[in-house]
């Protein structure tokens, strides 16, 4: 089996590559990644020399390049993780989100049609469903929940999902979509909540919590997400959407306090800053369909997963220190100065 994994130098894509090489040692994995600010070749160091792994630096919007790769590799399966993934950046500048997340997805699917494919899998997000109110804990996102996006990021992901369903219906593309809740774990880029708070804690820097920090996210350990995608590409029904979630809702402020506690840092580092525009209140996935059809259940409890994650950031300081010492500094100053906090 030849599998093209796009965005494999990023957080979830790299964890997926590690999982697949371990779980299916007879498969060939081809990682296609543009290496944007979010992609790190150092993340893939441990697999770079494997005979059944190939890395190709390529933009999924580069039609000629993508077609050439498909012609060379004749993939059986394509799993598309490549995306601009940070909501705050999409609020600063939506354009690259539309380009990569929508146009890039269409280029990949055109290549699948041209060269033939057993399965195209689109990695999507629970954010396409919008948000849920805090005072209705009985409500969850199911696959039937209407799309109702809030940010340019989630709108671009929803646009891609709609295109995938259209390619399936119109052209018969054998496609599946999975919509996952917030992931955490190793190699998570330190612009996102959990790794940002770990890195700032370790550097005794203020911990910027948006608004009151009451927003709720449904956290899933990244390895559990990778196992779910492995199941969907092998056993999931073509044309179907599968929600993937941890049934593990937490308020942002509680996560930040927990990280302080685990690292022995004072909660006085917590600094409330200007809220995200259009900030979604609560995400909560109902994963009944993937459980009933494919037998998937999350295996990692948050209490264990967060400990493993913190340990990984302690043991791999070089990985994230290199990231936050570069261009990230400019991003950070701009993003957090704009939130009206000069001491951040």
For ligand TDX, the binding residues (CB under 6 A) are: 85-87, 125, 127, 182, 192-193, 196, 208-210, 213, 215, 217, 252, 276
Q: Is residue 158 near ligand NAD by the rule CB under 6 A?
A: no
Active-site pick, 33, 88, 127, 223: 127
Which lies closer to ligand NAD via its Cβ, residue 61 or residue 216?
61
Is 153 a known active-site residue?
Answer: yes
- CB under 5 to 8 A by kind: which of ligand TDX, ligand NAD, none does 236 bind? none
Active-site pick, 33, 59, 126, 249: 126
- CB under 5 to 8 A by kind: which of ligand NAD, ligand TDX, none does 252 bind? ligand TDX
Query: Residue 5: beta bridge partners?
Result: 31, 79
Q: Is residue 9 near ligand NAD by the rule CB under 6 A?
A: yes
Binding mask 88-107 for ligand NAD (x = CB under 6 A): ------------x---x---
Nearest approach, Cβ of residue 240 and ligand TDX (Å): 20
Binding residues (CB under 6 A) for ligand NAD: these are 6-7, 9-13, 33-36, 38-39, 59-61, 81-85, 100, 104, 123, 125, 157, 180, 182-183, 189
Catalytic center residues? 126-127, 153
């Amino acid at each position: 089996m030849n599998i093209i994994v796009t965005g494999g130098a990023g957080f979830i894509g790299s964890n997926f590559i590690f999982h697949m090489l371990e779980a299916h040692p007879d498969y060939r994995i081809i990682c296609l990644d543009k290496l944007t600010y979010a992609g790190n070749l150092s993340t893939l160091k441990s697999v770079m020399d494997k005979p059944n792994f190939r890395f190709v630096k390529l933009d999924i919007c580069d039609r000629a390049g993508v077609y050439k790769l498909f012609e060379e590799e004749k993939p059986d399966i394509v799993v598309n993780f490549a995306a601009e993934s940070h909501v705050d950046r999409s609020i600063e500048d939506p354009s690259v989100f539309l380009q990569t997340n929508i146009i890039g997805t269409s280029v990949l699917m055109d290549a699948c049609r041209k060269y033939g494919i057993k399965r195209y899998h689109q990695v999507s997000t629970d954010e396409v469903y919008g948000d849920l109110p805090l005072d209705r804990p009985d409500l969850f996102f199911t696959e039937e929940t209407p799309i109702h996006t809030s940010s340019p990021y989630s709108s671009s992901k929803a646009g891609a999902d709609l295109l995938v369903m259209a390619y399936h219906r119109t052209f018969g593309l054998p496609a599946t979509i999975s919509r996952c809740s917030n992931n955490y774990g190793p190699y998570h880029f330190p612009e996102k909540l959990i790794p940002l708070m770990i890195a700032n804690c370790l550097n005794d820097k203020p911990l910027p919590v948006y608004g009151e920090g009451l927003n709720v996210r449904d956290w899933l350990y990244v390895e559990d997400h990778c196992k779910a995608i492995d199941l969907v590409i092998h056993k999931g029904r073509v044309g179907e959407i599968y929600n993937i979630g941890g049934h593990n809702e937490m308020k942002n402020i509680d996560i930040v306090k927990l990280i302080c506690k685990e690292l022995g840092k004072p909660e006085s580092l917590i600094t409330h800053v200007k809220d995200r525009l259009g900030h979604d209140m609560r995400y909560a996935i109902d994963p009944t369909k993937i459980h009933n059809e494919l037998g998937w259940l999350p295996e990692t409890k948050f209490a264990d997963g967060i400990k493993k994650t913190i340990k990984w950031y302690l043991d791999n300081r070089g990985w994230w220190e290199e990231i936050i010492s570069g261009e990230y500094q400019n991003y950070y100053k701009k993003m957090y100065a704009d939130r009206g906090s000069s001491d951040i």
